[in-house]
Structures are given as C-alpha cells and as structure tokens.
Amino acid sequence: MASRGFHWLLTLTAGFEGLRAGAGTLRMVLDLPARTEIGAVAFAQFSRATDLSAVGVPFYIVYGAGGALLTLTTWIVALRSDVSREKKLLTGLAALCSVLILVLTTQAAPLMFAVGSSPDDPALLANLLDDFVRWTNWRIGLADLSFVAVLLALAAQSRYGSAR
C-alpha cells in the first residue's frame, strides 16, 4: 500500500481508537463508579437496559472486535509497507493492546451476562459488578494505550510526511 493509503488507514484507525478510548474512559470515570452511589441493583438494571440490550451487545462486539480487526490490519499493512520501524512498532503495540482487550473480555463478558441473568440480589450483583469493573478497567487502560500508540504513529507519519 502506498504511503498515502497507509496514512489514511492510520488516520481511520486513530479516529476509531480515539472514540473507543474516549468512550471507555468516560465509562471508567463516570459510569462504573456510579454503581456505588445508586446501588448494585439499580446499576444492574441500567446495564440490562444498555450494555445487554439489543443495541448494546452488537455495539460492544463492533467496539471490541472492530478495534482488534482495524488495529491488526493497520499493523499488517505497516509491516508490509515501507514505513519506519517506529510506526511498525507503534501499530504493533496498538494491535497487541486490542488483542489483549479481547482476551480480557473473555473474563469480563461472562460477568456482565451473569449480571443480566441474576436476580436483583444486592450482594450477588455487587460481587459480579466489582469483578466486572476490575477486568473492565484493565481493558479500558489497554484501549487508551492503543489510542496513544496509534496517535504517536500518526504524529510520526505527519512529521515525516510521505517519507518513511
């Protein structure tokens, strides 16, 4: 792929990763801590209406799998292109973060699905949500790191223009 095509792919990836990191950070800073204010049952009901809804589940599939697919594609294109080692390493870091997000999701998602199917027992839901938040905070940190890596790669691309 020509360097112009790589630049556009990198720009698209940075945009997607920025949205993913921003949404995740918002969730980590505002939404998840709210469960301690409103209680586990109310937060579980909120999660059932949002995260576990007919819109929420497909959204999170695109959010996670789409991020992994896009960052992996960007890294593979970087490896096959005449771009700098710096850009190859940064896009590789983003791809690794995205894959790790999927790995951690194998632990977090079953907890959220359990929240969805559990009775409104405050103690049970509090334990499930606490465990979910621990896994999710790691995933959000990885999304933020992925975004920073792609942003640095894009900055390097812009700094050197069409050169490597």
| DSSP per residue, 80-132 | HTT--HHHHHHHHHHHHHHHHHHHHHHHHHHHHHHHHHS-S-HHHHHHHHHHH
Using one digit for the tens of pLDDT, what is the confidence trace for 136-154?
999 999 999 999 999 999 9
Number of neighbours of residue 92 by Cβ within 10 angstroms? 19
pLDDT at 49 over 80: yes
Using one digit for the tens of pLDDT, what is the confidence trace for 83-134?
999 999 999 999 999 999 999 999 999 999 999 999 999 999 999 999 999 9
User: Would the pTM of this model clear 0.85, i.e. be above it?
Assistant: yes
The pLDDT assigned to 164 comes to: 54
